[in-house]
A and B are shown apart, each in its own frame.
Chain A
Amino acid sequence: MLTELRIAGFGGQGVILAAHIIGNAITLVEKGYATMTQNYGPEARGGAASAALVLSDEPVLYPYLTRPDILIAMSLEAYTRYGPEVKEGGFLLVEEDLVQLDALPQVPKCKIYGIPATRFAEELGKKMVLNVIMVGFFSAITKAVSPEACRAGVEHEVPKRFLDLNVKAFNKGYEYGLELLTHQGERTHPGEEMIPGLELENHTK
């Protein structure tokens, strides 16, 4: 099984750290293979940030993404830029307060889930942990990586003094994801007949 994952957002959101947590979880805990690449061009300074991960149960040969199975979009720009690439039937996980789905002329035909991660992070006391909340959410919704492995990944990547906070953040995202699945089931976006952005908003309220 080969899964292509892109995590994108803006500078300061911890996109690369999120990718590292998942990479660690896959390679060090689940004994799978993960290859992470990122953009290094001048466009990666300050503004947009993106990391790509190829996850597999055998050694990864081709290092780049062809079409992501999963996109974690933490900013509107990330969504508009990378949204159209997502495979049909894949997963699109968004920071729902920052991403308006109708910003793309055609909403991607994939399973879309939203979470107010920034707000949750602020409630936990540090806006910076939104990335780890997104990782928890990703683990719950996609099941691509187990929560135990992700928690170990968090432990590996985060300085000790921030560990408790980050584990809380992970759990928050994970539980919210499970809850969403229980209440809503799988949300398949069929096209014009619903406007997921609005519905997501309804749900979170």
Chain B
Amino acid sequence: MSTLIEPTALTNPVEKVLRNDRIPTIWCPGCGLGTTVNSFAYALMASGADLKKTAIVSGIGCSGRVSGYVALDSFHTTHGRAIPFATGLKLANPELTVVVYSGDGDLTSIGGNHLIHAARRNMDILVVCVNNMIYAMTGGQAAATTPGAATSTTTPYGSFEPELNIPQLVDAAGACYVARWTAFHVKQLEKSMTEALKKKGFRFIEVLSPCPTLYGRRNGYADGLAQMKEYKEMAKVKNGAPTYEVAITHGQPIIVGKFVDRDRPDYLTLMRSQLGAHYHEVAEVGVGCGDESEGKEGCCSC
């Protein structure tokens, strides 16, 4: 016998982390984005982060809309520039927990340079990159992450550009935490996000996510579920795998797991230690000569 539950008693356990007045989302049925947001919501609660002091920044694209569904300070910025905006937030108010949540095209292609340099600086932000392997918001064009000979609207004869191995890129640039999961691995993703939220420095999580509308149906997946099944079957958890071995190749296993977890001082720590006494103290500043194209020695007459 089934028990009838009063509809009013039903509440979504992650409700307090979401902007309920913005739901339903714009995302298609079968899209993996909502699933990743669910994991993120649980991770936010589990991490103990002060939600009033947590900001989420997105770029442009389907994933770029994540910031608008989460009940934090939400910033929906320009295409590719979520990371530099987040950098500004963090530097001007170090008390904030800053999360960038955006897509593969936004973060690794148009915003690729910022990704590299934020990792190099070890800027204290968490970047969640939802990789659906396609430019979905604009209607299914090939991305830097489109694998194998996949068909897209701009590669109608099949893609032939080699795809980007994102974990290897951010690892090489100096990220202190690098992991990859898929929309199938909801518990692992949640755990990874929780762990990353608690860590300091530049943290990066790639999440493979189905796009049935614009990637799936052109590339042999009947629906979102078919892509999820593939994640289930093809994913191999290899924590600590060298990132040069985790490229996504069509028909090959998808390596997931936590690849990098190391500690190194973040940007502000380095800055404070380098500046030492110069920081926050009113020092004597000369107003002497401006530019000295001829070299320092001419300046101080020493």
Contact = CB atoms under 8 A, between A and B. Distances in A.
The short answer to whether A and B are in direct contact, CB under 8 Å, is yes
Interface string B272-296: 0000000000000010110111110
Nearest to B296: A12
Contacts of A165: 301
B251 interface: no
A13 B294 contact: yes
A88 interface: no
A49 B294 CA distance: 6
B294 A162 contact: no
B300 interface: yes
B6 interface: no
Interface in A148-198: 157-159, 162, 165-166
Contact of B298 (A44, A126, A128, A166): A128
A10 B293 CA distance: 10
Contacts of A15: 294, 298
Contact of A14 (B286, B291, B293, B299): B299
Nearest to B293: A44
A129 interface: yes
A40 B290 CA distance: 12
Given A17-B301, A131-B301, A162-B301, A157 B295 contact: no
B301 A16 contact: no
Contacts of A126: 301-302
B293 A17 contact: no
Interface in B6-61: none
B297 A128 contact: yes
A20 interface: yes
A81 interface: no
B302 A162 contact: yes
Give the bracket for the number of chain A residues in contact with chain B. Answer: 20 to 34
B284 to A, nearest CB: 10
Give the bracket for the number of chain B residues in contact with chain A. Answer: 10 to 19
Nearest to A121: B301
Contacts of A11: 293-295, 298
Contacts of B295: 11-12, 46
A13 B296 CA distance: 10
Q: Which of B286, B289, B297 has the most CB of A within 10 A?
A: B289
A11 B295 CA distance: 7
B302 A157 contact: no
A3 to B, nearest CB: 21
Interface in B56-92: none
A157 B289 contact: yes
A22 interface: no
B298 A131 contact: yes
A20 B301 CA distance: 12
A128 B301 contact: yes
Contacts of B293: 11, 16, 38-40, 44-45, 49
A17 to B, nearest CB: 6
A161 to B, nearest CB: 8
A158 B286 CA distance: 10
Contacts of A46: 294-295
A20 B288 contact: yes
Contacts of A166: 301
B299 A16 contact: yes
Given A40-B293, A44-B293, A45-B293, A13 B301 contact: no
A38 B291 contact: yes
A13 B298 contact: yes
Interface in A19-42: 20, 38-40
A15 B289 CA distance: 11
Contacts of A132: 301
B10 to A, nearest CB: 70
A158 B298 CA distance: 11
A173 to B, nearest CB: 13
Nearest to B299: A17
Contacts of B289: 16-17, 20, 157
Nearest to B288: A157
A158 B294 contact: no
Contact of B294 (A16, A20, A129, A157): A16
A44 B291 CA distance: 11
A108 B227 CA distance: 85
B301 A40 contact: no
Given A13-B298, A166-B301, 11 more contacts: A11-B294, A11-B295, A11-B298, A16-B291, A16-B298, A38-B291, A45-B293, A128-B297, A162-B300, A162-B301, A165-B301
Give the top 5 A-B pairs by smallest Cβ distance, nearest first.
A11-B294, A14-B298, A49-B294, A44-B293, A20-B289
